[in-house]
Amino acid sequence: MSDSEIIRIYLETRENPCFSLLYNRYAGKVFGKCLSILHEEGLAQDATQEIFTRVFANLPSFGEKAQFSTWVYSITYNYCIDFIRRQKKQGEWLDFDVERAAEMPDSDIPDEDMLRIEVDTLRKVLEQLPISDRMVLLMKYQDEMPIKEIAALTEKSESAVKMQLLRAKERAQKLRATMHTSNE
């Protein structure tokens, strides 16, 4: 049964098996995303429960304008970002030079360079990046989301996302270089 069919039946009947089907389909992915952002299993479990509470409370407003998985991801991303901002009192997203981003290719740093970073080093680099940089890199490289979808989820223009990716990759490369030279 497709997500759309399950949602339609759930909205008509409010039957728990429909809730369970959607939960079982997406809970692992939501938990994994929460764990990658929040870095604590307990927090990720709590976040997953809260996110699904929000998903099912807002299911009547879903409207199928996007795929259900994208909608759930958006709720997950926003919940985790809001949680971190509340916890760390972190500032807002950085402003980007949108005009410069519109005129440039996706990045001056080839994707292959990002993919060559060793896993342990990558984890350390990601932990040191600002949350906004970490999230955009994870969406692009871990979740393999296209720029257009990242822009929709973050409510930014595609140019702003490209610029943010560029700057995040530059910061990641600098951190990696710093780690590499300090290990020698």
Strand, coil or helix: 64: coil
The token duo for 103 is: 């005129």
Examine the domain organization and report whether 20 and 53 are in the same domain.
Answer: yes
**pLDDT higher than threshold 80 for residue 94:** no
**pLDDT higher than threshold 90 for residue 28:** yes
Rounded mean pLDDT of 146-158?
86
Output the pLDDT for position 116: 53
Examine the domain organization and report whether 130 and 55 are in the same domain.
Answer: no
Binning pLDDT at 50, 70 and 90, where does residue 130 land?
confident
CATH of the domain at 161: 1.20.140.160
Rounded mean pLDDT of 81-102?
53
The token duo for 74 is: 């958006």
How far is the CA of 125 from the CAs of 120, 128, 150, 151, in angstroms? Answer: 9, 5, 21, 23
Question: Does any domain span residue 135?
Answer: yes
Output the pLDDT for position 132: 82
Examine the domain organization and report whether 23 and 84 are in the same domain.
Answer: yes
**pLDDT higher than threshold 90 for residue 30:** yes
CATH of the domain at 17: 1.10.1740.10
Output the pLDDT for position 42: 92
- The per-residue pLDDT of the chain, averaged, comes to 78
Binning pLDDT at 50, 70 and 90, where does residue 118 land?
low
Examine the domain organization and report whether 19 and 80 are in the same domain.
Answer: yes
Binning pLDDT at 50, 70 and 90, where does residue 51 land?
very high
Examine the domain organization and report whether 165 and 113 are in the same domain.
Answer: yes
Question: Does any domain span residue 21?
Answer: yes
Look at residues 35, 54, 88 and tell me which one is the last residue of a structural domain. Answer: 88
Look at residues 32, 55, 88 and tell me which one is the last residue of a structural domain. Answer: 88
Output the pLDDT for position 93: 33
Examine the domain organization and report whether 72 and 103 are in the same domain.
Answer: no
**Residue whose tokens read 């930014």:** 156
Question: Which structural domain, as residue segments, surrounds residue 160?
Answer: 98-182
Rounded mean pLDDT of 165-178?
87
Examine the domain organization and report whether 54 and 103 are in the same domain.
Answer: no
The closest alpha carbon to 133, from 100, 179, 71, 84, belongs to 84
The share of the chain scoring above pLDDT 90, in percent, equals 18
Question: Does any domain span residue 93?
Answer: no
Residue 13 neighbours by CB under 8 Å, 6+ apart: none
